[in-house]
């Protein structure tokens, strides 16, 4: 069975996921496209999906009979309405992060899915599909004893002028927030943010670097450095300290060279290259579940918890140094 997918939002990631579905993955086809900028949808149609129809609105696309599953890759503040419409139509829906821009919005999606009675939503937390993180999880589950601490870093070479301090949480840390919960099978109880000496490379509206300290229900302590003007590369580090040993996230594959009296290997500079393979695996998971009329992997509940946890981290930025509690509602049985 071929899953017939409609894509809402044909910008950078919408185009790339369309390419993935049309050229990399088996079992799915993009049959419909929509974007507020119709020229963008038509350009993706021309380049990648000539048989797809172009719809004036995302709502119209979701209602189209030829669309069996929906990809939401528009701007974050439009996600909620499209995911709710896909649930109302009973169509499996892959939504890029964030699920919604507020915790209340994410809660509305959880409530709608629970009322529907089965999972329909997958959220684009692709790190869970990364081979390195999967190896790390295997080690955390089976090799290093009970996890006690995580030391991590999320570094970008530079960020544009419009990147402001809270985006370090909503756009950058959001991936760590999800992947640590998954790695540890745990949830957060508090957050604290402290700001070291500011880098001279940080523009006026972003405090950079910053350190986020998270505590989990099981008592694991996590420190994450967010440094978005680190200059030297895009670098994701994660080290889990357990009772019996320490497990490290593998470095991306790179040739090691001995040259000019240096031992060296390249470091990536573009975030798009870092998890490129995991996008293939996550969408394959979506297509396989959608073929069964459902969804798997990170879901609405994870999107909701990420939103609550992010809000607490932003509050902790605003109250720098103070510990901000994180309390979560009970998880509906649908997500057990």
Nearest by Cα to 179 from 288, 274, 63, 64: 274
Which of 35, 113, 178, 311 is in the footprint of ligand NAP by CB under 6 A? 35
Q: Which residue is listed with tokens 């049985």?
A: 333
Binding mask of the shown chain, residues 125 to 164, with x at each position contacting ligand NAP by CB under 6 A: -x--------------------------------------
Which of 59, 78, 101, 269 is in the footprint of ligand NAP by CB under 6 A? 78
Which of 2, 27, 46, 75 is in the footprint of ligand NAP by CB under 6 A? 75
Number of residues that bind ligand NAP (CB under 6 A): 22
Query: CB of 39: closest distance to ligand NAP in angstroms?
Result: 8
* Strand 3-8 with 69-72, pairing: parallel
83 or 212, CB closer to ligand NAP?
83
Q: Which stretch binds ligand NAP (CB under 6 A): 31-39, 110-118, 243-251, 309-317?
A: 31-39
Does 198 engage in binding with ligand NAP (CB under 6 A)? no
Residues between 110 and 129 that touch ligand NAP (CB under 6 A): 124, 126
Alpha-carbon distance of 178 to 238, in angstroms, equals: 13
Does 11 engage in binding with ligand NAP (CB under 6 A)? yes
Does 34 engage in binding with ligand NAP (CB under 6 A)? yes
Query: CB of 82: closest distance to ligand NAP in angstroms?
Result: 7
* Strand 28-34 with 3-8, pairing: parallel
Q: Which residue is nearest to ligand NAP (CB)?
A: 11
Question: Strand ranges (DSSP E) for 136-197?
Answer: 147-155, 188-194
Question: What is the per-residue DSSP string for 215-276?
Answer: EETT--EEEEEEETT-SS--EEEEEEEESS-EEEPPPPP--EEEETTEEEE-----HHHHTH
Instruction: List, in order, residues 6 or more apart from 277 with CB less than 8 Å away.
Output: 130, 131
Instruction: List, in order, residues 6 or more apart from 10 with CB less than 8 Å away.
Output: 18, 33, 34, 35, 37, 40, 41, 43, 44, 73
3 or 33, CB closer to ligand NAP?
33
Alpha-carbon distance of 216 to 192, in angstroms, equals: 12
Which of 2, 12, 231, 245 is in the footprint of ligand NAP by CB under 6 A? 12
Does 40 engage in binding with ligand NAP (CB under 6 A)? yes
Does 14 engage in binding with ligand NAP (CB under 6 A)? yes
Which of 3, 6, 7, 10 is in the footprint of ligand NAP by CB under 6 A? 10
Which of 18, 22, 45, 74 is in the footprint of ligand NAP by CB under 6 A? 74
58 or 132, CB closer to ligand NAP?
58
The enclosing H or E element of 85 equals: helix 79-88
Integer CA distances (angstroms), 93 to 174, 182, 290, in order: 20, 21, 8
Helix pair 300-318, 174-184: axis angle to 10 deg: 120
The first and second tokens of residue 106, run together, are: 């994410």
Does 37 engage in binding with ligand NAP (CB under 6 A)? yes
Which of 4, 20, 91, 97 is in the footprint of ligand NAP by CB under 6 A? 97
Nearest by Cα to 62 from 93, 20, 17: 93
Q: Report the interface residues with ligand NAP, using CB under 6 A.
A: 8-14, 34-37, 40, 58, 73-76, 78, 96-97, 124, 126
């Amino acid at each position: 069975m071929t899953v017939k997918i409609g894509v809402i939002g044909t910008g950078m990631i919408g185009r790339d996921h369309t390419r993935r579905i049309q050229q990399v993955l088996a079992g799915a086809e993009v049959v419909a496209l929509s974007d507020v900028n119709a020229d963008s949808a038509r350009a993706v149609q021309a380049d990648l999906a000539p048989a797809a129809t172009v719809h004036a609105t995302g709502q119209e696309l979701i209602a189209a009979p030829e669309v069996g599953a929906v990809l939401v890759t528009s701007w974050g503040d439009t996600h909620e309405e499209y995911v709710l419409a896909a649930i109302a139509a009973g169509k499996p829906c892959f939504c890029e992060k964030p699920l919604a821009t507020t915790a209340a919005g994410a809660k509305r999606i959880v409530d709608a899915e629970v009322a529907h009675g089965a999972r329909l939503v997958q959220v684009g937390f692709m790190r869970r599909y990364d081979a390195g993180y999967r190896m790390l999880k295997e080690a955390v589950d089976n090799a290093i004893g009970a996890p006690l601490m995580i030391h991590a870093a999320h570094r970008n070479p530079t960020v544009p002028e419009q990147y402001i301090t809270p985006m370090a949480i909503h756009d950058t840390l959001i991936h760590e927030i999800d992947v640590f919960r998954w790695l540890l099978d745990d949830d957060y109880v508090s957050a604290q943010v402290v700001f070291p000496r500011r880098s001279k490379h940080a523009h006026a509206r972003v405090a950079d670097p910053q350190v986020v300290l998270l505590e989990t229900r099981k008592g694991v302590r996590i420190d994450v450095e967010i440094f978005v003007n680190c200059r030297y590369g895009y670098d994701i580090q994660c080290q889990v300290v357990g009772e019996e040993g320490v497990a490290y996230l593998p470095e991306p594959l790179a040739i090691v060279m001995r040259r000019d009296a240096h031992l060296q290997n390249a470091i990536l500079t573009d975030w798009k290259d870092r998890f490129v393979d995991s996008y293939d695996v996550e969408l394959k998971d979506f297509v396989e579940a959608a073929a069964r009329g459902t969804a798997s992997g990170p879901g609405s509940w994870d999107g909701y918890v990420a939103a609550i946890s992010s809000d607490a981290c932003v509050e902790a930025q605003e109250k720098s140094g103070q510990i901000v509690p994180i309390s979560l509602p009970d998880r509906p049985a649908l997500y057990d």
